Structure 1
Amino acid sequence: MDIIQLLLVALGLLAFMVLGYSAFAGPSVAKESARRLQAVRFRHSESTIDRVEAQLKKAVAARKPKMHQIAGSQSRVAALVLRLHRTGKGWTLPQYLYASGGLALTVAVLMFIKTSAPLLSLVLGLFVGAGIPHMVVSRAITKRGVKFTTKFPDAIELLVRGLRSGLPVTETLGVIATEVPGPVGEEFKAITERIKIGRTMEDALQETADRLNMAEFSFFCITLAIQRETGGNLAETLSNLADVLRKRGQMKLKIKAMSSESKASAYIVGSLPFIVFTLIWFINPDYIGGFFSDDRLIAVGLGGLTWMSIGGFIMAKMVSFEI
């Protein structure tokens, strides 16, 4: 009976938080009015700058994925396959599922042998089996993305030099594929291969942009698309883009350095309860063993984990900045 009351209280608090968020997180009237006025200005303006800005906004909006999908995917399974592809490790979907299921089963069985608590063992097994592989894939994607953004301005500069020397764009893309190492060379090699089999350059670039889902490469594709419609010196435009991307990378490094102390504090504060719980469990198992046998303590422990997860999510958002 006590567990039911605790669950009802927790559900009531959760519903209260959802209602509060819905009440205060609605769309801003001022922002909506400004957006509509800007859309009217773009629609009736004869200025080339306004038209280019409108095309840029449309292109960026078209690349925003849905809540449950990743740009370039049509389902959750396709989104997961895309995530695995972005790691550059050659991992397949069956390997990922087998690793997640095996890890979840191993942790659940070991926890059940140690504590004889089926509910806690099942929850912990599912949490570890779903969380750790996701974290590993996300870390691999982040590392590959950092390598890509580091070398990408150099690839654009190589493209600029090729254009200024008189080479066509498609041939210069092939030079980038062979001269630039790492993820940049791999992606441009895939682009040149798609062009060789009959795809247009725009389609090949768009497919790569959908798979990578990186702002830097999207800027590159948008620059080429706008230059084809409006004309101008492509080499000069790409040179300016390379300079902007380098400054963007420098700003990211500055933000990372300035927020490193806050991130370290968040890691320490978030890990301390688990470290203390584990140490007490090894030193005096009887003192803390109730969390594995008493239903009330299990419910309280799960509630505490939920609130800690919410706090960790909020702290992560506070030190995360988009440029």
Structure 2
Amino acid sequence: MDPKLILIILMLGSMLFMLFLAFSGPSATRAMDRRLSAVTSRHGGADADMEQRMRKAVASRSTAKQSQILVSLIPNPENLTKRLRMTGKKWTLSQYAGACALVMIAVIGIGLFRGWAPLTALFVGTASGLILPHKYVGRLITKRVKKFTMTFPDALELMVRGLRSGLPIAETLQTVSTELPGPVGEEFRLVTERIRIGKTMDQALAETAERLGTAEFQFFCITLTIQRETGGNLAETLANLATVLRQRAQMKLKINAMSSESKASAYIIGSLPFIVFGLISWINFHYMESFYTPDPNGLFGLSLMQLVGIGGMCWMGIGVFIMAQMINFEI
């Protein structure tokens, strides 16, 4: 049998095995036990609540021990854990590492199947395994933060109506967590849960502001802090803040509309050479084979085409960076 075919089969088998290990969920028995314990904690009194908290503490301790294994493989796991939480998904470090390995193995297998040199396939596969999952997570974070920012003024107006009707601030936070869906309800639900377990409102809001990283929620935290120290009508202050945030969102939409043509040009100019290069390499690899073949007599072991390609990528990177800065406005 062809050694290349054997290598591809082994890579596919490893990919399926890692997929099973990374994304295999808990058993049905454990899920049923967790649901029963949750129901018992809601209706079983203080003892059941204490038992549920102890189970959560043990589970978090075991999860931390499992995450320590990945410290030697993943740089800065605390930052990566924070990014995964910002997506709103219940992903773990092991699942993220498994997805990176799957992407890397898939790209290496495709490259070897297309006749790439092993070193080139390894380099491209490693770069894809590190960059593509990172970009996907960043896209999910941007999408969730954007959705939160769009719905956040509605949450403030709901809080204003609750405060004017006589409800305390803690009850208005609880109302927002139950009435509004999506990221806003989820984040306010986490705030109310932190307050319920003994943290102050400032600590709960500070943790949410650190995880979201949006200026809108930081404005909200600063408003509550200043109002608590100086006094005043909190309902009127939050109503004014909601108006400011809506105007801020409208200004962002106007800027995006005015700069959409420049963004489209930057995307086309920046991505077209890479798309054409990838298509030519896929259709006629022998035509581009000299680009993947190193030259021992060249500079740093690189051929002339490789040096020209690196220079062109540098100049394109500078041009794209300048265009991005020209259409980047701080509001």
TM over 0.5: yes
Give the superposition deviation at 1:282: 4.8
Q: 5+ residue gaps in structure 2?
A: 1-74, 296-302
Q: Which residue of 2 aligns with 1:301?
A: 309
Give the superposition deviation at 1:186: 0.6
Cα distance in 1 for residues equivalent to 2:197 and 2:294: 65
Count, aligned residues: 249
Whether 1:252 aligns to 2:260 is no
Which amino acid letter does the alignment assign opposite residue 156 of structure 1? Answer: L
Give the superposition deviation at 1:225: 0.5
Alignment of 1:49-60 (within 5 A): none
Cα distance in 2 for residues equivalent to 1:161 and 1:221: 19
| Partners of 2:178 and 2:185 within 8 A in 1 | yes
Q: Judging changes above 3 Å, is the alpha-carbon distance between structure 1 residues 169 and 249 closer, same or farther for their aligned structure 2 residues?
A: same
Q: Which residue of 1 aligns with 2:320?
A: 312
Q: Which residue of 2 aligns with 1:125?
A: 125
Q: Which residue of 2 aligns with 1:103?
A: 103
Whether 1:93 aligns to 2:93 is yes
Cα distance in 2 for residues equivalent to 1:157 and 1:249: 16
Q: Which residue of 2 aligns with 1:29?
A: none
| Partners of 2:223 and 2:237 within 8 A in 1 | yes
Which amino acid letter does the alignment assign opposite residue 160 of structure 2? Answer: V
Q: Which residue of 2 aligns with 1:62?
A: none
Cα distance in 1 for residues equivalent to 2:136 and 2:243: 32
Cα distance in 2 for residues equivalent to 1:201 and 1:285: 61
Which amino acid letter does the alignment assign opposite residue 278 of structure 2? Answer: T
Q: Which moved more, 1:172-181 or 1:107-116?
A: 107-116
Higher relative contact order (Cα pairs below 8 Å, separated by 6+ residues): 1
Q: Judging changes above 3 Å, is the alpha-carbon distance between structure 1 residues 194 and 282 closer, same or farther for their aligned structure 2 residues?
A: closer
Q: Which residue of 1 aligns with 2:287?
A: 287
| 1:273-305 CA-partner distances (Å, limit 9, x unpaired) | 123223433554433221122430334334433
Q: Judging changes above 3 Å, is the alpha-carbon distance between structure 1 residues 218 and 316 closer, same or farther for their aligned structure 2 residues?
A: same
Alignment of 1:56-71 (within 5 A): none
| 1:75-125 CA-partner distances (Å, limit 9, x unpaired) | 931111111111112221111111112212321333244344233323322
Which amino acid letter does the alignment assign opposite residue 88 of structure 1? Answer: G
Cα distance in 2 for residues equivalent to 1:148 and 1:283: 43
Which amino acid letter does the alignment assign opposite residue 306 of structure 2? Answer: I
Q: Judging changes above 3 Å, is the alpha-carbon distance between structure 1 residues 315 and 100 closer, same or farther for their aligned structure 2 residues?
A: farther
Alignment of 1:87-236 (within 5 A): 87-236=87-236
Q: Judging changes above 3 Å, is the alpha-carbon distance between structure 1 residues 120 and 285 closer, same or farther for their aligned structure 2 residues?
A: closer
Give the superposition deviation at 1:319: 2.3
| Partners of 2:114 and 2:282 within 8 A in 1 | no
Q: Judging changes above 3 Å, is the alpha-carbon distance between structure 1 residues 79 and 267 closer, same or farther for their aligned structure 2 residues?
A: same
Q: 5+ residue gaps in structure 1?
A: 1-74
Q: Which residue of 2 aligns with 1:237?
A: 237
Q: Judging changes above 3 Å, is the alpha-carbon distance between structure 1 residues 317 and 129 closer, same or farther for their aligned structure 2 residues?
A: farther
Q: Judging changes above 3 Å, is the alpha-carbon distance between structure 1 residues 104 and 78 closer, same or farther for their aligned structure 2 residues?
A: same
TM-score normalised by L of structure 1: 0.72
| Partners of 2:270 and 2:316 within 8 A in 1 | yes
| Partners of 1:108 and 1:125 within 8 A in 2 | yes
Q: Judging changes above 3 Å, is the alpha-carbon distance between structure 1 residues 292 and 282 closer, same or farther for their aligned structure 2 residues?
A: same
Which amino acid letter does the alignment assign opposite residue 141 of structure 1? Answer: I
Which amino acid letter does the alignment assign opposite residue 109 of structure 1? Answer: G
Q: Which moved more, 1:81-90 or 1:216-225?
A: 81-90
Residue 91 of structure 1 aligns to a residue whose secondary structure is coil
Residue 114 of structure 2 aligns to a residue whose secondary structure is helix
Which amino acid letter does the alignment assign opposite residue 142 of structure 2? Answer: T
Q: Which residue of 2 aligns with 1:321?
A: 329
| Partners of 1:120 and 1:298 within 8 A in 2 | no
Give the superposition deviation at 1:306: 4.0
Q: Which residue of 2 aligns with 1:278?
A: 278
Cα distance in 1 for residues equivalent to 2:95 and 2:122: 22
Q: CA RMSD in A?
A: 1.9
Give the superposition deviation at 1:196: 1.2
Q: Judging changes above 3 Å, is the alpha-carbon distance between structure 1 residues 279 and 113 closer, same or farther for their aligned structure 2 residues?
A: closer
| 1:203-232 CA-partner distances (Å, limit 9, x unpaired) | 111111111111110000001111111221
